[in-house]
Amino acid sequence: MTGPVGSGQGPQETAKDGRNSMERKGGSGPEDEAHPETAPPSGDVRPRSPSRGSPGSTRSDHFQAVESVRVDAYEIPTECPESDGTLEWSSTPMIVVHVRAAGETGMGYAYTSEAAARIVETELAGTVEGSDPLDVPGIWEAMRHEVRNLGRPGIVSSAVSAVDTALWDLKARLLNLPLASLLGRLRERVPVYGSGGFTSLSVSELQSQLEAWVSQGMRWVKMKVGRRPGDDPERVRAAREAVGQDAGLMVDANGAYGEAQALELARVFAEAGVCWFEEPVTSDDRAGLRRIRDRAPAGMRIAAGEYGWTLYDFVDLARAGSVDVIQADITRCGGLTPFLRVADLCEAVQLPFSPHTAPSLHLHPACAVPRLLHVEYFHDHERIERMLFEGFREPRAGWQSPDLGRPGHGLELRRRVAETFRV
Ligand SMILES: [Mg+2]
């Protein structure tokens, strides 16, 4: 699956800054209270290229339309078979999208099936090409309309995510700004937590992985639970022994437990000082999460949100009082455009925010969002991103900092390396 795809030219109309442009146009802003993703009334949301030489024209008038959208699909084997509470895997699928305009190229990606690449080719490329690359939220609206009848959750949302993040990278490169500066930084660096601790690891492997992250200066580490619930108390105690008393110990059940079982184990985990219980039951069960949150031991945060595919999913979690922390994944929720809206939702309802996996793609946005708690430094993805992307940022003493000397998110695909994983 490769090469420039789609075609098309869009009509014209502009906004000069990306993030709030649709709101100023009277489009899908917060004023649409009943439906956070409701489209502008005209139905024609396609961003239009700026009219040349008009009064008040700016530097943006010199930019051209998006010329091409390219998508590639890869499958990267894990070091060994891995598992969590509800899934086993031996490879990680990934799509990478490149968008071009005015001699610059933006890159985005998502950890999802090769099928998402087909969605990019057949449904999204033609919508994006010809659009004004500065009007990313407008292009996002157009993509959302285009996939309406396919259904947003899952593969389709990840396809939109990869294109949207590529477009934001392109815009930052066109403006010769690091993405964090384009969005407006709230902080210069972000705290990261080590995440892995798969249920496929032996106790000693689990201990050495978690201990290594703490030794590198990370303040929190996360392990998986739920595959063999009877073993979990001992594995969690062993993890605590390895990381010492000061590290924040987090567990993630990936929805493996029943409600009563989760509550019982929450009390056991609390004895080992567990501070975070992620998806104790499936995050589809908002009421169940809420009941666990209400009865969980003091000091233990209930977290979910990685399967938030649309803004409604996060609104639902917040309205139901299901979580103490909202997670969102930029490669699933529809990209940076909705990711920023989720962050604003967290600010509005006073919930801490923690981006899920894909650390390199979250680094710049995490510098710009309010209520940030920390960023997940996920074992499988940091391994892939270090291998595939020139510009990968190593954490230092538990923090990651964006390279402000490079435009965009600062990442370039190492095509020769990636080629060996092509599907
Ligand atoms: Mg999780």
Question: Is residue 311 domain-resident?
Answer: yes
Question: Is residue 171 domain-resident?
Answer: yes
Assign 63 a pLDDT band (cuts: 50, 70, 90): low
What is the structure's pLDDT at 2?
45
What is the per-residue DSSP string for 80-133? EEEE-SS-EEEEEEEEEEEEEETTEEEEEEES--THHHHHIIIIIHHHHTTS-T
What is the structure's pLDDT at 59?
45
What is the 88 CA–ligand 1 centroid distance (Å)?
14
Residue numbers annotated as active site:
224, 356
What is the structure's pLDDT at 14?
32
How high does pLDDT run on average in the chain?
A: 89
What is the 303 CA–ligand 1 centroid distance (Å)?
9
**Residue 118 scores a pLDDT above 50:** yes
Residues 108 and 222 in one domain: no
What is the structure's pLDDT at 25?
31
**Residue 152 scores a pLDDT above 50:** yes
What is the 307 CA–ligand 1 centroid distance (Å)?
9
CA 120 – CA 156 distance, rounded (Å): 9
**What does pTM read for this prediction?**
0.87
Residues 73 and 137 in one domain: yes
Name the β-bridge partners of 66: none
Q: Which pLDDT tens digit goes with each residue over 382-421?
A: 999 999 999 999 999 999 999 999 999 999 999 999 999 9
- Final residue belonging to a domain, choices 177, 210, 244: 177
Residues 113 and 228 in one domain: no
**DSSP percent split of the chain into helix, strand, coil, nearest 5:** 35, 20, 40
What is the structure's pLDDT at 61?
52
- Final residue belonging to a domain, choices 151, 177, 203: 177
Structural domains counted in the chain = 2
What is the structure's pLDDT at 40?
41
Question: Is residue 416 domain-resident?
Answer: no
What is the 15 CA–ligand 1 centroid distance (Å)?
37
- Final residue belonging to a domain, choices 124, 147, 177: 177
Residues 301 and 168 in one domain: no
Residue 166 vs residue 5, higher pLDDT? 166
Q: Which pLDDT tens digit goes with each residue over 183-238?
A: 999 999 999 999 999 999 999 999 999 999 999 999 999 999 999 999 999 999 99
Name the β-bridge partners of 5: 69
- The predicted model gives 86-115 an average pLDDT of 98
Residues 191 and 124 in one domain: no
What is the 305 CA–ligand 1 centroid distance (Å)?
8
What is the structure's pLDDT at 23?
31
**Residue 55 scores a pLDDT above 70:** no
Question: Is residue 354 domain-resident?
Answer: yes
What is the structure's pLDDT at 22?
30
Which residues have a beta carbon within 5 Å of ligand 1, which is an ion?
252, 278
What is the 120 CA–ligand 1 centroid distance (Å)?
26
Tell me the residue range of the domain where 14 lies: 4-177
Q: Convert 341-363 to b/e letters by CB count within 10 Å (16 or more is b).
A: bbbbbbeeeebbbbbbbbbbbbb
What is the 278 CA–ligand 1 centroid distance (Å)?
6
What is the structure's pLDDT at 230?
98
Question: Is residue 414 domain-resident?
Answer: no
CB 120 within 8 A of CB 71: yes
**Residue 119 scores a pLDDT above 90:** yes
What is the structure's pLDDT at 64?
86
What is the 319 CA–ligand 1 centroid distance (Å)?
21
Q: Which CATH number goes with the domain that contains 67?
A: 3.30.390.10
Give the CA distances from residue 373 to residues 261, 366, 397, in Å, rounded to whole numbers and listed in that order: 28, 10, 17
What is the 189 CA–ligand 1 centroid distance (Å)?
23
Assign 62 a pLDDT band (cuts: 50, 70, 90): low
CA 133 – CA 275 distance, rounded (Å): 42
- The predicted model gives 174-186 an average pLDDT of 98
Residues 154 and 240 in one domain: no
- The predicted model gives 229-253 an average pLDDT of 98
Q: Which pLDDT tens digit goes with each residue over 18-42?
A: 333 333 233 333 333 334 444 443 4
What is the structure's pLDDT at 232?
98
What is the 376 CA–ligand 1 centroid distance (Å)?
10
Which tokens go with 121?
Answer: 């080719």
Q: Which CATH number goes with the domain that contains 227?
A: 3.20.20.120
